[in-house]
Chains A and B, each alone.
Chain A
Amino acid sequence: MRYVDEFRDPHLIRQAAAEVRRKADPERHYRFMEVCGGHTHSIYRFALEELLPENIELVHGPGCPVCVLPMGRTDDGLALAGRPEVILAAFGDVMRVPGTHGSPLEHKARGADVRMVYSPLDALKLAEREPDRHVVFFAIGFETTAPSTALTLIQAKARGVENFSVYSNHVTIIPAIRAILDSPGMRLDAFIGPGHVSTVIGCRPYAFVAEDYGKPLVVSGFEPLDLLQSIVMLLDQLAEERAEIENQYGRVVPWEGNPAALRAMAEVFELRPYFEWRGLGFISQSALKLRPEYAAWDAEERFDTPGVRVTDPKAAQCGEVLKGVLKPPQCKLFGRECTPERPVGALMVSSEGACAAYYNYVHRRSEAEAAAAARA
């Protein structure tokens, strides 16, 4: 696979890891936050932590859309699925997210019409194929997926599809990064900036991270070599006492972003005054709702949703893990009540959630090794 294999070349990875070790100051302890869940997944998938020196700590950020969605929002979506005329269409990641009375998949097994789609356009096509039903698309994601929801709504309006609406849970990354920088006790040295989001928003919006908070940020790709190179770039900045926004992922991310995608988003969405994030609480102007011109396609305008705030199970410490205060295995439920098969919190659901990634790729091995050591 071109553009993938080159960035997984074992020889180059070993070289890059050696460069990281050479450049890390042994007198310092580094805390880098990878904002994006895709990065968290890659870090565990490729066991990159094993290649890093011990004084470089990676802190997993809030960039996993289903992980930061509060349970009440899932419940509202499932309430829509309970209406007889409604087909709820959702991405695969959403299907196993626990609501108060089970996940979308469990609701489906009990008879709710929930369908998995790969893109919002597929949900629109479904609506056109099923004119007697109403298709609600459970929209979720950062600026990565918001443009495709926007383009779908533009088409729905142009084609006059009336039996289609969007339940928008789109959020924006910048206010979340600011909230993390503002939260007390957050000792971070630098950021590995999100790759996919930046293909849309570009690199300029991160300027405040360097200018106002004096922290370096490097927008990074997702392959092992990308991440190691980004860490080298951060180490260089810190060694030279620079705080800049740099783009490691230039082969995909244009500095100015994608103007067409941004236009589509601006046409369809406006900022909500505030939105609740799991773990981070209410963050003002951090989420997208449909503009009044698209009210006819806004599921929250067309239907009543309970809109109840649901607190996470008491023992679950998703919030602390999301903020990077706790590591996944430090949560009381981790690996016991909460596993990828029976997730209590959403961080255990998505492959991009820190808990699922940690559980799948690290936890079971250390558990097995500990058991083997105990026997020996």
Chain B
Amino acid sequence: MTSEPVTAPNPGRPPAEEADPRRRVRFRDPQIEMAHGAGGKASRRLVEGLFVPLFGGALLDPLGDVAHLEVDGARLALTADSFVVRPLVFPGGSIGELAVHGTVNDLAVGGAEPLALLVTFVLEAGTPGEVVEAEARALAAAAERAGVAVVGGDTKVVEHGKAEGMYVTTAGIGRLDPRLSLSPRSVRPGDRVLVSGPLGDHGITVLLARGDVDLESDLESDTRSVYPLVDRLAEAVGPAVRWMRDPTRGGAATALNELARDAGLGIVLAEEAVPVRPPVRGACELLGLDPLHIACEGQFLAVVAPEAADEALAALRAAPGGGEAALVGEVRESPRGTVLAAASYGGSRVVDMLVGDPLPRIC
């Protein structure tokens, strides 16, 4: 205390740079566990408790997947995403396509038109050359389809056994779309929640492709760029779109819980309106999982003003790949910070963020 300047307003308080509670490191978990990467509560603790206090400037606020910046009058969006999927190839896609779509989709739902990508490969020694070639080809083709240029990157090789074939990181840049102005703070009670298509296809496909569960289905990952759909939505109802998110790790439940918390509002889903394909429902039922916690790689959630909801839905449904879009819920004044799923027979349940990794039940 003696080193404190006598003019300090209150010598008992922490140093000035920690006075802002958002600047205080609060991460106390003794070790990193898989749950810290699963997109749920533990992930949020790590990012908000450690990374935001240390790195967070104006750019990290609001905390989204995309940073907005203005360079010489150009309004740009910047994002990065890493891909560590196992197996590398699964029905409907592979890590190469995922690496493009994941980053492109973050830009798209961040309100930006995707322009270019940097790609970093971390390759494991011993990975067959043809596997690397196949993924490079898949990545190139996906980038071409999505209309983004791969403009650079990096390659590293780690010892055999230190990575599962390959990890891929992509960083993306996009131009902020003047038709859209998105923020959780612009969300109002009465707004409607829209989903672009069925939930959970990707997560369940990969789970089944791992071969740990002896279930067969013709399910495919939904991995795709959602930019064409976002573009249609922006064209149709632009300023009425308040918020968008692609429900990847942690699923729709986690994305909507983050919105409920950030907006300080409640979200009520109509359980029966949420589109879920029968094989996904079946697998979830069998394994004790909630489709709302399962990852998608080619869908997005949007909150739109009530008067624009029907037009927004019609625009998505008329677009290629948007036929299964649905209005699934509503923003309410209360219960604040909470997502509820209501059943039409009268009951409702709290839909929490994902805790840990999705685990199956035993009986």
Q: Is the CB of B346 within 8 A of A14?
A: yes
Q: Is the CB of B334 within 8 A of A372?
A: yes
Q: Complex: how many Å from CA A144 to CA B361?
A: 12
Using CB atoms, name the residue of chain A closest to B348.
A47
Which residues on the A side are within 8 Å of B344 (C-beta)?
A: 10
Q: Is the CB of B349 within 8 A of A44?
A: yes
The smallest beta-carbon distance between B303 and chain A, in angstroms, is 19
Which residues on the A side are within 8 Å of B346 (C-beta)?
A: 14, 17, 47, 50-51
Q: Complex: how many Å from CA A106 to CA B363?
A: 23
- Do A118 and B360 contact each other (CB < 8 Å), given the known contacts A50-B347, A365-B338? yes
Give chain B's interface residue range (CB within 8 Å of chain A). 35 or more
Q: Complex: how many Å from CA A296 to CA B231?
A: 65
Interface residues of A in 214-233 (CB under 8 A from B): 224
Q: Is the CB of A14 within 8 A of B345?
A: yes
Q: Is the CB of A365 within 8 A of B335?
A: yes
- Annotate B314-357 by CB proximity to A: 1 below 8 A, 0 otherwise: 00000000000000000001111110100111111110100110
Q: Complex: how many Å from CA A125 to CA B288?
A: 23
Which residues on the B side are within 8 Å of A368 (C-beta)?
A: 266, 334-338
Q: Complex: how many Å from CA A161 to CA B32?
A: 35
Interface size on A, residues (CB 8 A): 53
The smallest beta-carbon distance between B268 and chain A, in angstroms, is 11
> A150 contacts the other chain (Cβ, under 8 Å)?
no
Which residues on the B side are within 8 Å of A192 (C-beta)?
A: none
Q: Is the CB of A372 within 8 A of B336?
A: yes
Stretch of B129-137, B147-155, B172-180, B278-286 lying at the A interface: B278-286
Which residues on the B side are within 8 Å of A122 (C-beta)?
A: 212
Q: Is the CB of A351 within 8 A of B288?
A: yes
Q: Is the CB of B335 within 8 A of A369?
A: yes
Task: Write the residues of chain B forming the contact surface with A, with a CB cutoff of 8 angstroms.
Answer: 31-35, 41-42, 212-213, 266, 272, 278, 281-282, 285, 287-288, 333-338, 340, 343-350, 352, 355-356, 359-363
Beyond known contacts A13-B345, A17-B346, A196-B363: 7 more, CB 8 A cutoff: A11-B345, A44-B349, A48-B347, A350-B361, A360-B350, A364-B338, A365-B335
Task: Write the residues of chain A forming the contact surface with B, with a CB cutoff of 8 angstroms.
Answer: 1, 4, 10-11, 13-14, 17, 37-38, 44-48, 50-51, 65, 91-96, 105-106, 109-110, 116-118, 122, 140-142, 144-145, 196, 224, 340-341, 350-352, 360-365, 368-369, 371-372
